[in-house]
Structure 1
């Protein structure tokens, strides 16, 4: 549902931002965990067009304008091993996630990140490169799960969707910086061309490790441990609330929902995620997470520069940077859009738009040759539109729903499981994509977008028919609506009957 807006709504929004500026700044910082994922995906995509990198991990190809080529098997392992590492991390989190707090989970991610970067920078052997990619994937798995969960648990109801949506903003911003640095280092013919971009990655784990020392755990974490005083202190630090009665009310609301859940189960076990109403919530959370890959964003982020180069687009680094810069305006716009448009409608609309965008790219390259100037213009324009639409709707909504739908006691487990499922699909996508687009394999090039057009269309229809409306509800209210009796459908929205 589209909610009408007026001057009062806009004023209220800016008043809310001013009042909650502390939590917004903290959310931006914690979302930095996802900067690494976007930065790495874009930077490594650029490596595949760098002579300095290809001289070591590629092969000499006099017919290529770069003088080098890269084997399809190397392409698949560089990107897919990172997804596989993320899957391993997600499985671990699903099994042991309730024993690890959000801050500790992020610190673990920082440790794996530092080791992975050192491995990739210190050796020219494939084994070290592949091991680094796998460990970086494990780092991303911890970053992804615990940053999104932390954001979902600390943000107030009216900012939760936007706060979690900052994950998408940081991913796009990271990708933009990754391509920007690649653009200036690709001129080097030595290892320096890719060592500099890799070295910049240290900024994320080091900054997070230090910054997290000054942040508390989420109030929901402290209440799960039975420490209400620490929960009050957490809310006070995170949101700057000084009114004791308001602090008590916030804690009481969280505690009440948690007690309601615990009444159904004294302990939290793996099988709980697949029982009763939690089964539905687990499936919805998993599907929303998988929707990230279904949108095609993994394909574009992992192979955009190589994809543009093979499609005949000149100055591909510059065009990808322009596309990502425009996408950031969509990411920033989502902060406001998600305040006024129902999650289900926004996700459905954006998915259908991107379905037609993908079909347009594939259709043009079906009729025109790969080297056509017109086809290259269409590819750049449609690719830019795709990243903008994803940034304003698909990415933020899918992330928000993945975190919002699970119950409190199972949130870290469910988000970990959902993220793991997405990593499986992302692994398949990154592993198979080179075989479709590489000239030495199927050589589909941009016609590969037919597949992503179809997946976007399915995502849009599924969102319209299945996604419940959680806009404006606190995590406790969502919990209550799932636990407190039967659910009835009103149109396409699931509402609590009591």
Structure 2
């Protein structure tokens, strides 16, 4: 008997029909790719942990005794300049690390690129924990960003190139949850060490970062390389073994070879492309330009809805609003956001990326408007505005994690051509980091009491920016739910309009299926077909 999630229907067809292999789409049958997804999440845990920890350092007396100043009342604070640089230099480094993703990924495989990121991060942690020099701290925050750029982008690209089409959205929902988990754990540890009146307050969270990095360094060499990367580097035997590892138990031999033949067709078409840095110019030519615009545009959605305003300065912002313990408050809001990530796992295979991203953008934009409005109204008391702030931040973080955090990276990785995937994803991430850096660098001028002191009224600016993001997503982003990367490539090459993507019938895959059938069975004109029926409740 076939599995419950797959039904085989045999029907007589006209000449030229091609028999398809069996693909079991249940989560149980695809446990290997889900296990790899959880494993890859370790690299994103590191990124999230660093993001959560460094934001909390700026409210720790133990940190501020070294890098801040004490007021006449005895309270510890940090000047606007250092506050800007500590947060923004990490983002600037992530921009550089993301830009380097393409050139490095063209020569070094995904796994070893991740190991390079891990080694660089270890050096950064040691220096951050030991230095008392502000200049050294600035430089090492930049290098931390470079390492995070490697960890973020190469783990995402690896999953894009390895996951089956029906689980790509779920895999990205799961793997990006590690960012929020890491951020939350970083905040919890910060809360436990915040009252230590010594450097241990921030050194302990930093040293904990060693654990995921060591795990990755010693285990990544045993993981199969991405099958698509191997194909594009003329190693087809290894690529087939890699694909067999990821699909074992879910695909039969025919389905495996049919998918492999479709991958080979793309690899053969792009075989003559340049492999050096000049390949980046292909991002802006022909049908690739449309892909680049969409990927970069969606990649800036995080910054465009004001994410860094809330995420990078959350602890400091709540402290200034005087609405309770800032460390505990930000942990609560982060846990609320984590429920948003968990919720999106169950809807992405049914709703698709486009609607989820658009819903997230709309909710975040509305939160910015309401937040600014309640702080602008004289009818709202200070305590009432503070309570409203916490509620709106919680809703914002939930919407951001539900509709934006996983899927802007998913879109940036699944829409590009295979030979440009690392370049495009790196450019999209770099552009996102560039706007995030701009936000992190300028935000202190707007919210700091020693500068403009706008506080939550800064949300008016992000409301306008969010409107632009929503319009772009609505008109430009196509829906590619359940499509293989090869089908997506065909639709862009054929210049399919955005609204027609869901219903477009791809034809190039038929020849790949025929070659796979010939390879497995030696048949040329089969008279039956196997039609896959997916049980969405299990996908």
Q: Does 2:372 correspond to 1:362? A: yes
Q: Does 2:118 correspond to 1:82? A: no
Structure 1's unaligned 5+ residue stretches are 1-6
Q: Does 2:321 correspond to 1:311? A: yes
Q: In structure 2, do the counterparts of structure 1 residues 489 and 309 end up closer, same or farther at CA, with 3 Å as the change threshold? A: closer
Which SS does the other structure have where 2:28 is aligned?
A: helix
Structure 1 match to 2:298: 288
Structure 2 match to 1:254: 263
Structure 1 match to 2:140: 132
Which SS does the other structure have where 2:497 is aligned?
A: strand
TM-score, structure 2 length as denominator?
0.85
TM-score, structure 1 length as denominator?
0.92
Partners of 1:346 and 1:262 lie apart in 2 by: 36
Choose which of 107, 115, 128 in structure 2 pairs with 1:120.
Answer: 128
Shift of 1:262: 4.2
Q: Is the 8 A contact 1:93 1:416 kept in 2?
A: yes
Q: In structure 2, do the counterparts of structure 1 residues 370 and 234 end up closer, same or farther at CA, with 3 Å as the change threshold? A: farther
Structure 2 match to 1:203: 211
Matched positions, count: 484
Structure 1 match to 2:233: 225
Structure 2 match to 1:336: 346
Structure 2's unaligned 5+ residue stretches are 7-23, 508-539
Q: In structure 2, do the counterparts of structure 1 residues 58 and 489 end up closer, same or farther at CA, with 3 Å as the change threshold? A: closer
Q: Does 2:170 correspond to 1:162? A: yes
Which SS does the other structure have where 1:470 is aligned?
A: coil
Partners of 1:368 and 1:320 lie apart in 2 by: 26
Q: Does 2:74 correspond to 1:57? A: no
Partners of 1:280 and 1:422 lie apart in 2 by: 18
Choose which of 185, 188, 191 in structure 2 pairs with 1:180.
Answer: 188
Structure 1 match to 2:157: 149
Choose which of 26, 39, 60 in structure 2 pairs with 1:16.
Answer: 26
Partners of 1:22 and 1:395 lie apart in 2 by: 24
Q: Is the 8 A contact 1:334 1:396 kept in 2?
A: no
Shift of 1:354: 1.4
Q: In structure 2, do the counterparts of structure 1 residues 89 and 301 end up closer, same or farther at CA, with 3 Å as the change threshold? A: same
Q: In structure 2, do the counterparts of structure 1 residues 428 and 143 end up closer, same or farther at CA, with 3 Å as the change threshold? A: same
Which SS does the other structure have where 2:197 is aligned?
A: coil
Structure 2 match to 1:395: 405
Pairwise CA RMSD: 2.3
Structure 1 match to 2:49: 39
Partners of 1:266 and 1:91 lie apart in 2 by: 18
Structure 2 match to 1:3: none
Shift of 1:469: 1.4
Q: Is the 8 A contact 1:105 1:142 kept in 2?
A: yes
Choose which of 91, 98, 109 in structure 1 pairs with 2:99.
Answer: 91
Q: Is the 8 A contact 1:165 1:399 kept in 2?
A: no
Partners of 2:124 and 2:103 lie apart in 1 by: 24
Partners of 1:74 and 1:219 lie apart in 2 by: 44
Which has the larger share of helix?
1
Q: Is the 8 A contact 2:374 2:380 kept in 1?
A: no
Structure 2 match to 1:434: 444
Which protein is bigger by CA-based radius of gyration?
Answer: 2
Shift of 1:274: 1.1
Partners of 1:404 and 1:225 lie apart in 2 by: 20
Q: Is the 8 A contact 2:157 2:422 kept in 1?
A: yes
Partners of 1:53 and 1:136 lie apart in 2 by: 18
- For residues 301-354 of structure 1, the C-alpha deviation after alignment (integer angstroms, 9 at most, x for no partner) is 211100111112211111111111121111112112111113222211221111
